């Protein structure tokens, strides 16, 4: 996949999407980090998946540390990935946290 081979410093387009993205039920949480890495939390597993990502326009391409690849699209302020819709949330200190309402 072009542009995903190595982490790259965040540029202006990427910076717009940095931070914590969470499903409405709080179960899946993607932290897009400024160093081109991401951490995906699921349920009580705060680091279920880790890897690198690259943003190209409104598309984000993922490669996890095991080599699995995926992508998502930012549409109307939400991240659409693998049939899920994630919305930006304030990130608590220490990384991705379960969204408790």
Task: Compute the residue count for the chain.
Answer: 101
pLDDT in tens, the chain (101 residues): 444 444 444 456 678 899 999 999 999 999 999 999 999 999 999 999 999 999 999 999 999 999 999 999 999 999 999 999 999 997 554 444 443 33
Give the angle 68-69-74 at the CA atoms, nearest 5°.
140
d(CA 50, CA 38): 6
Q: What is the dihedral of CA 2, 7, 62, 21, to 10 degrees?
A: -140
């Amino acid at each position: 996949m072009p542009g995903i081979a190595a982490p790259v410093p965040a540029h202006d387009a990427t910076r717009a999407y940095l931070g914590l993205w969470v499903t409405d039920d709080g179960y899946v949480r993607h932290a897009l980090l400024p160093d081109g890495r991401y951490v995906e939390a699921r349920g009580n597993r705060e680091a279920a998946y880790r890897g690198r990502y690259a943003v190209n326009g409104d598309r984000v391409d993922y490669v996890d540390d095991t080599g699995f690849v995926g992508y998502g699209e930012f549409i109307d302020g939400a991240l659409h990935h693998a049939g899920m819709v994630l919305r930006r949330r304030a990130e608590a200190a220490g990384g991705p946290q379960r969204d408790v309402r």
